Amino acid sequence: MKDKTPALSFYTPAPGRGITAPFITALVPAGFASPAQDFMECRISLDETLCRNSETTFFIRVSGNSMVNAGIDDGDILVVDRSLEPADGKIAICLIDGDFTVKRLKTETGCVYLMPENPDYPALKVTEYNQFSVWGIVTYLIKKV
């Protein structure tokens, strides 16, 4: 089964907009109520928190389910940094033969594989016959719960 992304939605951070949300610094126990309002100390900007370098960071919405075992589901938003170096084991946005895909990079001597995180999808070996580039490394995952 070939993992083709029919359409991707790219987004870029909007630096300097000054939109912040309250940031609660207390740890939240899973199971008991916490008076979180008492611990509200500052505000947080998700652009500033998730984007180490706003000039090289973009957001992209996932289409498909080839990465579900990595916790990446259809409709999730990935934060991607183009300034980071691709490396073995990193999850990357790649452009291969004109199609975008998100996969885990696997490198071996002289060879690169794009590894899905779903057993229903095959690994893709990148060869000299492919037009291939890594657009960026995934740094954060934003999902609806």
Average of per-residue pLDDT across 111-118: 96
Confidence band of 145 (pLDDT split at 50, 70, 90): confident
Instruction: Pick the range with the lowest mean pLDDT from 38-42, 105-109, 123-127.
Output: 38-42
Where b means 16+ CB within 10 Å and e means fewer, 16-37 reads: eeeeeeeeeeeeeeeeeeeeee
pTM above 0.75, yes or no: no
Strand partners, 77: 61, 142
What was the pLDDT predicted at 40? 59
Q: pLDDT tens across 35-82, in order? A: 555 555 677 677 777 788 878 888 888 989 999 999 999 999 898 999
Q: pLDDT tens across 6-36, in order? A: 445 566 566 555 555 454 454 555 665 555 5
Q: Is 56 helix (H, G, I), strand (E, B) or coil?
A: coil
Catalytic annotation, residues: 66, 103
Which residues does 100 contact at the CB level (< 8 Å), separation at least 6?
A: 5, 8, 60, 93, 94, 135
